[in-house]
Amino acid sequence: MRQVSFALRTLLPALSLTLFCACGAGEGSGAFTPTPSPAPSPQTSGYASVLLEGAPFFDMDSQEETTLASLLETYSAGWAQVEVSQFAVVDLDGGGPEVLLWLAAGSDPAYGFEVLRETEAQVLGYSFTYRNFGAIKTDGSFFVSGGADDYGVGVLRFEGDTWSIQRIASCERTVGEEGEEVLSYFVDGASAGEDAYQAAYEAQKAKEDVLWRPFTPEEVEAALAEI
């Protein structure tokens, strides 16, 4: 995947990786690559057109239209074959359901994610590292890490064509004036004590995990029919 989307890939702390793997990495089966078609059927939704008919969507990283097959081919260049192993449908920001595509590359079951977001005009695609989405919950929240010194719980917020991650709870490690390790905790954007942070963290772990489905035409059709 592009360097701009995965520049921080190697900094994932062990805790975040453990939580991520717990949500079912690599359990999907029957991955398929959609065959591009000249144009989507007007009777299908934007998601169905992209996922089942190979219709183009707008990739926010490259600022160009692409298809899912072409995007996976780009990601695979100079790397192991990248494919969609499983997917989920979840409302990440309260504005309607998004489609999350879990990407795997060869023996790496957690290569990253592609998030498809349907607007009135078109379907938009956003690339995320696997660190951005650890143990995604049905309410759209997830564990997130900015590196070994920055991790916590967040939610995704879309504003127009841009996005940001809003932290619900976070722990930041810094170095004090005398070289000592300093841990700072935040809950709902405000400074908090360790107990308050741990309570928020445990509450997040207890939430229901999102349903990951095998990426097959039948599963895609069934999931989109439930939207």
* Tens-digit pLDDT profile for residues 182-195: 999 999 999 999 99
Number of compact structural domains in the chain: 1
Residue 46: phi, psi to the nearest 5?
Answer: -60, -40
For residue 178, the enclosing domain spans 3-225
Q: What's the pLDDT tens digit per position in 49-69?
A: 999 999 999 999 999 999 999
Name the residue with higher pLDDT: 118 or 44.
Answer: 118
DSSP string for residues in the chain: --HHHHTTGGG--HHHHHHHHHTTTT-------PPP-SS--TTS-HHHHHHHS---EEETTTTEEE-HHHHHHHHHTTSSPEEEEEEEEE-SSSSS-EEEEEEEETTEEEEEEEEEEE-SS-EEEEEE-GGG-BS-BTTSEEEEEEETTEEEEEEEEEETTEEEEEEEEEEEEEE-TTS-EEEEEEETTEEE-HHHHHHHHHHHHHSPBP--EE--HHHHHHHHHT-
Lowest mean pLDDT among 52-56, 128-132, 145-149, 219-223: 145-149
Alpha carbon distance 62, 66 (integer Å):
9
Task: Say if residue 20's pLDDT is above 70.
Answer: no
